[in-house]
Amino acid sequence: MSEAPHPSQALSEVLEDLRRHLLWQQEEGGRFLQVDARVAAEARAAGLPRPAALARPPVVSKPAPAPQAPPPAAPPPPPRAAVPSPPPRAAAPQAERPPAPRTQTPAAPALFEVPAQARPYAGSLPGVVEGERPRLDDIRRELGDCRRCKLCTGRKNIVFGSGNPHAELVFVGEGPGETEDQQGVPFVGAAGQLLTKMIEAMGYRRDDIYICNVVKCRPPGNRNPEPDEVAACEPFLRAQLKAIQPKAIVALGKFAAQTLLRDSTPITRLRGTWRQYEGIQLMPTFHPAYLLRQPAEKRKAWEDLQQVMKFFGKTSGQRG
């Protein structure tokens, strides 16, 4: 008969068994001891085999959740139309910086303004057939009993012009005065008498040259002609000059010079310097009426006329 083991020995074996069979299982973040010490000790004392429960602790697994249907996928966005990339732009050359404008003295305000429709006169000249040299009689006939502007309401006579229809020199004034309106002839009043002396001092007679005005009717009270009045008469003045075809023109005063030259520069700065009107030499000078009011300026006007005489090869008092 075998001897029963010593209790201390049995306890050591149980402890050894516990040491060997300490099982750990991780469940939801914890560890659990799966050993029944009492069962193990009783089985050991009875010589029975180790309980299956102690051979390997059962693994308690959490049942897998039932599969869920995936959420419906969002419809894909519609494809974007391909936008062609613009061709590469060549680098624009850098513009040179313009020089700073020089300070200039402001120009004097225009003494009068010619309306745009008469700047320059673009239509056919009255009484002029294209390709032919017009005649003064045809232009005068075209002018007729003119009612083209308001000056017609106060006039007595149209002052068309007088002199040699083929003159080499033409004098152009501003407009008729009271005496001219009564007689229908340009420059026959006080200013006209002074002009006659100037013409004779140059070696001409009035019959040698031609005299006319920008406007053909007298402005009321001898006032300055207004832009619409200048615009109405200017085509006839240009037709006259085309018919005569002079070699030189003397523009008497600001209105004659500014109308023919399209230049609003004051006559005090225009005078004394040759300009051109459609290829014709033009000398601006003071109007005789101004010289009657400012006698000291007669010397300057005479200097201007001497340049005209030199142009024609004349000396003082020499008749052609």
Domain that holds residue 276: 136-312
**pLDDT the model gives residue 60:** 46
**Total number of domains in the chain:** 1
**Domain contains 259:** yes
Q: Is the pTM of this model over 0.95?
A: no
**pLDDT the model gives residue 167:** 98
- Segment 42-78, tens digit of pLDDT: 656 666 555 444 444 444 445 555 555 555 555 555 5
DSSP code string of 239-265:
HHHHHH--SEEEEESHHHHHHHHT--S
**Domain contains 187:** yes
**pLDDT the model gives residue 55:** 45
**Domain contains 79:** no
CA-based torsion, 196, 201, 204, 205: positive or negative: positive
**Domain contains 254:** yes
**Domain contains 283:** yes
**Whose CA is closest to 286, among 174, 163, 186?**
174
Report the distance separating Cα 260 and Cα 82, nearest Å: 65
**Domain contains 74:** no
CATH number at residue 171: 3.40.470.10
Beta strands in the chain (DSSP E): 24-27, 30-33, 162-163, 169-173, 210-213, 248-252, 275-277, 280-285
Is pLDDT of 291 > 80? yes
Is pLDDT of 160 > 90? yes
Is pLDDT of 144 > 90? yes
**pLDDT the model gives residue 11:** 75
**Domain contains 63:** no
Question: Three-state SS for 267?
Answer: helix
**Domain contains 95:** no
Reading the block at residue 244, the tokens are 């005569």
Report the distance separating Cα 268 and Cα 285, nearest Å: 8
Report the distance separating Cα 320 and Cα 181, nearest Å: 31
What mean pLDDT is reported for the chain? 79
